[in-house]
Chain A
Amino acid sequence: MNPRLSSISRSVGFAVVLLIILLAVNLILSPARFQPGSWGALVGLAAPLIGAAIASTPVILAGRGGIDISVGPLMGFVNAVVIQVLFLKAGISSPLLLVPAALLIGALVGAANGFLATVVRIQPIVATLGTYLILTGITLTILPAPIGPAPAWLKALAGPWSLLPLLLMFIGWGLVRRTPYYDQLMAVGSDDRAAYTAGVDVTRVRLIAYVMAGILGGCAGLMLTALIGSADPNIGPTYTLIAIAAVALGGVSLAGGRGGVAGAAVGAVDIFLLQSVLTTFNVSTFVLQIAYGAILVLAVMLTALQERLAMRAR
């Protein structure tokens, strides 16, 4: 294995092992749920969390405390605007308009976050906390209570076509990885001083990371809309912390510069599968929450221990 691959597998390793175990357990416990026929719905069910985790990744990769806790509220905001404002009030139902609108909202919110965190230089968690509060506030103002429905094509994105938005996200990120920008992002994430001295425009690189997070968040907002088939002001924000948990579980270093979107997605799938296992056991949501917390802490602990051992072995 080349060193790069092995380093990736080392950091994602635990999440992948967990994924395989959880998948096996799921298949044994409830084979019916995992029939090929229900794959579409299943992926659709997991998609918003995967999307949220992917959206949380670029900013974390950019390092120096970079974090975007407004991803969840952004999803809720996109959900509210697309259904309540554009679809129900303005009567726009064409995907050719709604999808670009969602992505544009995401990009704008991301740009605002990026401006605050990189140009104004407010600590990222505070800047995105600000946007978090603003977005939840506006969402509740334009949409005080849940409302429906969603356009049929959008609901299909949580059913038979559920893989499509995820694939597009991965393809998009794959394209980014082929650009010189990606190398700059990772360089800034692992050592921004060195990158700056090497002539990288650190501010610009980080700003773009926030914009990407926004666009991906907009996409995740559409997936959420597809899944719930309506608009609900309260669901979006719940994704924030669990998405960051998924990212950490997937071996992305919260210190920046290490990990990637694939790891984040695996981490999100882990959490989804765990949820699924516990649901089949019919345990209460309380146990579910304990399990979330325990898996999260254990996962980061094991990852850290694994890295230590690898370090010692060298």
Chain B
Amino acid sequence: MAGRNLFATTNARVVGAFCVAALLQLAGTILIPGYSAPFAVRAMLVLASLLAVASIGQTLVVIMGGIDLSIPFVIGFANVVAAQLYGDGWNFFLVCALVGVLALVIGGLNGLISRSLDIQPLIVTLGIGMIVQGLVLLWTAGFPSGSAPPVVSGFVSIGGSAGPLPVPWLVPSLVVLAAFVVLVLERTPYGRRLYALGSNPGAAPLALIDPVRMWMVTYAASAFFAAVAGVLLLGFTGSAYGDVGQPYLFQTIAAVVVGGAALVGGRGSYLGTIAGVLVLTEINTLLIGLGFQPSAVQAALGLIIVLLVSLYGRERHVSTTI
């Protein structure tokens, strides 16, 4: 039956994406000497973890039937503001708290405007994102200063180690965070309401789901994790850069979709997104390792996204939705 099929394919997509990631790793190991060397794998895990953090919000928002284009702008905002304030001598935890609260407000605004007025979130999040970035640029006059506190640098450093583990604390922390996100989605009222709202917005209010509240909370969470990614990226690059989030605009969407979520809502999982993140990171590393120019890597990435999604991410024909 059609419905049963759908259920089976949702899990199959996640497994499929993990398999693709594993195959790419295998291909890399065969084709490129040192591809599976400890340092290379560590680097890949760190890059993948950063993308995975940035993609949490996109996953939640897409399950709900929305999209968040403000993620790269919020990443840039958090990155620059954290560096600047820390550079001005603020206590770093105070800085983090402030950035987090501001991000929650930005995200809440995204959700409130989109849902309460029933406007395409694509436009709202883009507009809000542009405003945020503009304000940050204005504040720093386009030349952000400041630097990363050692605690963040150490947390994400590719050479770092987490106790006995040969990876920086970022990686095990992400595993814990991922487990938390999966638990929230699968086992909390919020998670179940999120899927229901994405599955049929028309039925949600009758099932006592408050759409505006859900959208505000979810977009706020999305912006919050984008801000976390922004601060982590500060540790990774060492200095502030307003456009540091730009690659994450399309990468978060691509990761979510490669992981089996439907942009119409109601389907997807964070585990799937992690699989998508691994696939994207593998492709990137593999192609650069094979000596392709960044421009060619980009073209290949586009081609592979399309190929992968056409393998298992196809939508239903209109005739089957009647």
A138 touches B134 (CB 8 A): no
**B2 within 8 A of partner (CB):** no
Chain B, 62-121, CB within 8 A of any chain A CB: 67, 69, 113, 117-120
Chain A: CB-nearest residue to B67? A125
Most buried by B among A126, A140, A248, A288: A126
User: In the complex, which of the residues A126, A136, A202, A289 contacts B295, with contact meaning CB atoms closer than 8 Å?
Assistant: A136
Q: Please measure, in the bound complex, the distance between the C-alpha atom of A64 and the C-alpha atom of B262, giving whole angstroms.
A: 13
A289 touches B296 (CB 8 A): no
CB-CB under 8 A for A129 and B253, given A121-B315, A297-B131: yes
Chain B, 263-318, CB within 8 A of any chain A CB: 263-264, 293-303, 305-306, 309-310, 313-318
B302 touches A130 (CB 8 A): yes
**A255 within 8 A of partner (CB):** yes
User: In the complex, which of the residues B113, B314, B315 contacts A301, with contact meaning CB atoms closer than 8 Å?
Assistant: B113
User: In the complex, which of the residues B124, B138, B318 contacts A287, with contact meaning CB atoms closer than 8 Å?
Assistant: B138
**A262 within 8 A of partner (CB):** no
**B128 within 8 A of partner (CB):** yes
Contacts of B313 in A (CB 8 A): 122-123, 126
Chain A interface category by residue count: 35 or more
A137 touches B131 (CB 8 A): no
Contacts of A308 in B (CB 8 A): 117
User: In the complex, which of the residues A65, A130, A291 contacts B305, with contact meaning CB atoms closer than 8 Å?
Assistant: A130
**B5 within 8 A of partner (CB):** no
Chain B: CB-nearest residue to A248? B123
**A148 within 8 A of partner (CB):** no
B295 touches A293 (CB 8 A): no
Most buried by A among B128, B262, B298: B298
**A134 within 8 A of partner (CB):** yes
Q: Please measure, in the bound complex, the distance between the C-alpha atom of A197 and the C-alpha atom of B123, giving whole angstroms.
A: 31
CB-CB under 8 A for A286 and B254, given A123-B313, A196-B319: no
Q: Please measure, in the bound complex, the distance between the C-alpha atom of A141 and the C-alpha atom of B263, giving whole angstroms.
A: 31
Q: Please measure, in the bound complex, the distance between the C-alpha atom of A288 and the C-alpha atom of B253, giving whole angstroms.
A: 27
Q: Please measure, in the bound complex, the distance between the C-alpha atom of A67 and the C-alpha atom of B137, giving whole angstroms.
A: 30
B314 touches A122 (CB 8 A): yes
Chain A: CB-nearest residue to B73? A293
CB-CB under 8 A for A248 and B120, given A123-B262, A137-B298: yes
**B41 within 8 A of partner (CB):** no
A140 touches B295 (CB 8 A): yes
Chain A, 253-275, CB within 8 A of any chain B CB: 254-255
Q: Please measure, in the bound complex, the distance between the C-alpha atom of A294 and the C-alpha atom of B69, giving whole angstroms.
A: 15
For the complex formed, measure the closest distance between the CB of A33 and the CB atoms of chain B, giving whole angstroms.
Answer: 24
**A163 within 8 A of partner (CB):** no
**A292 within 8 A of partner (CB):** yes
CB-CB under 8 A for A254 and B298, given A122-B309, A133-B305: no
> Chain A interface secondary structure, helix, strand, loop or mixed?
helix
**A131 within 8 A of partner (CB):** yes
Chain B: CB-nearest residue to A143? B295
For the complex formed, measure the closest distance between the CB of A273 and the CB atoms of chain B, giving whole angstroms.
Answer: 18
For the complex formed, measure the closest distance between the CB of B308 and the CB atoms of chain A, giving whole angstroms.
Answer: 10
**A154 within 8 A of partner (CB):** no
Contacts of A248 in B (CB 8 A): 120, 123
**A192 within 8 A of partner (CB):** yes
User: In the complex, which of the residues A131, A286, A292 contacts B137, with contact meaning CB atoms closer than 8 Å?
Assistant: A286
Chain B: CB-nearest residue to A288? B134
User: In the complex, which of the residues B118, B250, B294, B305 contacts A304, with contact meaning CB atoms closer than 8 Å?
Assistant: B118
Most buried by B among A65, A122, A130, A289: A130
Q: Please measure, in the bound complex, the distance between the C-alpha atom of A122 and the C-alpha atom of B133, giving whole angstroms.
A: 31
B302 touches A131 (CB 8 A): yes
**A245 within 8 A of partner (CB):** yes
**B142 within 8 A of partner (CB):** yes
Most buried by B among A123, A245, A292: A123
**A132 within 8 A of partner (CB):** yes
CB-CB under 8 A for A301 and B117, given A137-B297, A254-B122, A254-B123: yes
User: In the complex, which of the residues B134, B314, B315 contacts A293, with contact meaning CB atoms closer than 8 Å?
Assistant: B134
**A88 within 8 A of partner (CB):** no
- Beta-carbon contacts of A191-204 to B below 8 Å, as 1s and 0s? 01100110000110
**B22 within 8 A of partner (CB):** no
Contacts of B264 in A (CB 8 A): 65, 123
Contacts of A202 in B (CB 8 A): 318
**A290 within 8 A of partner (CB):** yes
User: In the complex, which of the residues A134, A254, A289 contacts B133, with contact meaning CB atoms closer than 8 Å?
Assistant: A289
Question: Can you identify 17 A-B contacts, CB atoms within 8 angstroms?
Answer: A65-B264, A123-B313, A129-B254, A130-B303, A133-B305, A134-B299, A134-B303, A137-B295, A144-B295, A193-B318, A241-B69, A286-B134, A289-B131, A293-B127, A297-B113, A300-B124, A304-B119
Q: Which residues of A contact B (CB under 8 A)?
A: 64-65, 67, 116, 120-123, 125-127, 129-141, 144, 192-193, 196-197, 202-203, 241, 244-245, 248, 254-255, 284-294, 296-297, 300-301, 304-305, 308
Q: Which residues of B contact A (CB under 8 A)?
A: 67, 69, 113, 117-120, 122-124, 126-135, 137-138, 142, 250, 253-254, 257, 262-264, 293-303, 305-306, 309-310, 313-319, 321-322
